[in-house]
Amino acid sequence: MTQVKVDVHYVTRIEGHGNLILDAKDGKIEKLLWEVPESPRFFEAMLVGRHYDDVHHIASRICGICSIAHTTASIQATEAAFGIQPSEQTILLRKLLFDAEMLESHVLHTLFLIAPDFLGVDSVIPLAATHKDVVVMALRMKKLAYNLAEALAQRKTHPLSCVVGGFAKVPDLNELKALKKRLVECLNDLDVETSIFKTLKIPDFVRETEYIALKDPKEYAWISGQIASSDAPAVPIDKYLGVTNEFCVPTSTAKYTKNKRDSYMVGALARFNLNFKQLSPRAKKVAKELGISAPCFNPYMISVAQLVETYHIVEDSINLIDQLVERGVKEEPDKVKPKAGRGVGAVEAPRGILFHDYTYDAKGIITKANCVIPTNQNHNNIQKDLEALVPKILDKPQAEIQKMMEMLVRAYDPCVSCSTHALKVTFK
Partner 1 sequence: MKAKVAFFDFTSCEGCQLDVLNLTGEELLDLLGAIEIVNFREAISNRSDDYDIAFIEGSISREAEIPRLQKIRAQAKVLVALGACACIGGVNCLKNHLPMEQALKMVYGDAAKYYDTIPARPINAVVPVDFYVRGCPIQTGELVKVVKALLLGKKPDIPNYPVCTECKMAGNICVFEFGKTCLGPVTRAGCNAICVTGGRQCWGCRGLVDEPNKNSEEEILKKHGLTPEQVVEKFKIYNTYAEVKK
* Site residues for partner 1 per CB under 8 A: 10, 12-17, 39-46, 48-49, 51, 54, 57-58, 61-65, 67, 104, 108, 112-113, 116, 122-125, 128, 135-136, 139-140, 142-143, 146, 153-158, 160-161, 163, 167-169, 248, 250, 253, 255, 417-418
Nearer to partner 1, 65 or 308 (CB): 65
326-340: buried (b, 16+ CB within 10 Å) or exposed (e) per residue?
A: eeebeeeeeebebee
Query: What is the spatial distance between Cα 401 and Cα 392, in angstroms, rounded to a whole number?
Result: 10
Between the alpha carbon of residue 263 and those of residues 151, 212, 220, 376, the distances in Å are: 39, 11, 24, 11
User: Which residue from 360, 355, 367 is spatially nearest to 78, judged by alpha carbons?
Assistant: 360
Nearer to partner 1, 49 or 328 (CB): 49
**Amino acid identity at 111:** L
Closest distance of CB 336 from partner 1, Å: 13
Contact 150, 104 (CB under 8 A): no
Closest distance of CB 180 from partner 1, Å: 21
Closest distance of CB 251 from partner 1, Å: 9
Nearer to partner 1, 145 or 221 (CB): 145
Closest distance of CB 154 from partner 1, Å: 4
Nearer to partner 1, 79 or 210 (CB): 79
Phi–psi pair at 107, nearest 5 degrees: -65, -45
Between the alpha carbon of residue 419 and those of residues 42, 196, 345, 422, the distances in Å are: 11, 31, 17, 11
Closest distance of CB 51 from partner 1, Å: 7
Which sign, positive or negative, has the C-alpha torsion 57, 80, 320, 418?
Answer: positive
Question: Long-range CB contacts (< 8 A, 24+ apart) of 193-199?
Answer: 193/110, 193/111, 193/137, 193/307, 193/310, 194/286, 194/289, 194/290, 194/307, 196/115, 196/134, 197/110, 197/290, 197/303, 197/304, 197/307, 198/289, 198/290
Q: What is the DSSP string of 169-196?
A: SPPPHHHHHHHHHHHHHHHHHHHHHHHH
Which stretches of 27-99 are assigned E, i.e. beta strand?
Answer: 28-35
Q: What is the DSSP string of 316-339?
A: HHHHHHHHHHHH------------
Nearer to partner 1, 15 or 309 (CB): 15
Closest distance of CB 279 from partner 1, Å: 27
Give kind and range of the element (H or E) at residue 74.
Answer: helix 67-82
Across-strand partners of 213?
A: 228
Half-sphere exposure of 20 (CA within 13 A, CB side): 27
Closest distance of CB 264 from partner 1, Å: 21
Query: What is the spatial distance between Cα 289 and Cα 106, in angstroms, rounded to a whole number?
Result: 19
Nearer to partner 1, 249 or 294 (CB): 249
Closest distance of CB 102 from partner 1, Å: 15
Other CB atoms within 10 Å distance of the CB of residue 368? 12
Nearer to partner 1, 38 or 210 (CB): 38
Nearer to partner 1, 10 or 297 (CB): 10
Nearer to partner 1, 57 or 182 (CB): 57
Under DSSP, is residue 110 helix (H, G, I), strand (E, B) or coil?
helix
Nearer to partner 1, 215 or 421 (CB): 421
Closest distance of CB 113 from partner 1, Å: 8
Closest distance of CB 66 from partner 1, Å: 9
